[in-house]
Amino acid sequence: MRSIFRQIASHFSRRHHGRLSFSAGTRSAGAVAGVAWSLLLLTSGCGGVEAVPVSGTVMVDGVPLEGVALNFTPIAAEGAEGPGSSGVTDAQGHFSLKTIGARRARGAVVGKHRVILSERVITGPDSDPYEPGISPEEAEARLQKVSLRYKLPPSARDGTLTFDVPPGGTSDANFAW
């Protein structure tokens, strides 16, 4: 895209000394510029994910858990459609979700989600199993490296846990055992 704009700018600076001209020869350059702008707007688009803010805490026996990865997967059969969301708890057990994918939006799509929690002890580069752009195989390999440090109950890990994301979002997506 940038090269098209550079060509147009170069064309105007050589032929017209930096001035815009509307003679027959520059109409085609103007049309090219219009098409280039249209393509830029279409490719950069505003068609993002419609997500609402979702945050909460994770605790076991009243103790906030740090480093717990949460994965929210929309259940399409129950009305939730769109990308999944993920987050990681901080030292106070608090997390905020972001959608998974190239265009990460803050939050999650509205509707019922299957929730899986994974305790993470690996940090640093190449440790996030929910990093955008990695293959499912790489994500699985990263998850295999995770050891269970806090002993979350099976319901936190087996995919039976669900959460309904309300239309206005929530700061009360709390999980405690």
Residue 93 maps to a domain? yes
- Could you tell me the pLDDT band of residue 119, with boundaries at 50, 70 and 90? confident
79 and 24 co-located in one domain: no
Residue 75 maps to a domain? yes
- Which range of residues forms the domain containing residue 104? 55-176
- Could you tell me the pLDDT band of residue 166, with boundaries at 50, 70 and 90? very high
69 and 7 co-located in one domain: no
Average pLDDT over residues 23-52: 52
71 and 150 co-located in one domain: yes
How many structural domains does the chain have? 2
Q: What are the tens digits of pLDDT across the range 120-150?
A: 655 566 667 777 888 888 877 777 665 445 5
Across 11-147, the runs of DSSP E, i.e. the strands, are 55-60, 63-64, 68-74, 85-88, 94-96, 98-99, 111-119
pLDDT for the residue numbered 121: 56
Q: What's the rounded Cα separation, in Å, for the pair 98 and 83?
A: 10
64 and 134 co-located in one domain: yes
pLDDT for the residue numbered 149: 52
12 and 84 co-located in one domain: no
- Could you tell me the pLDDT band of residue 23, with boundaries at 50, 70 and 90? very low
| Between 24 and 98, the higher pLDDT residue | 98
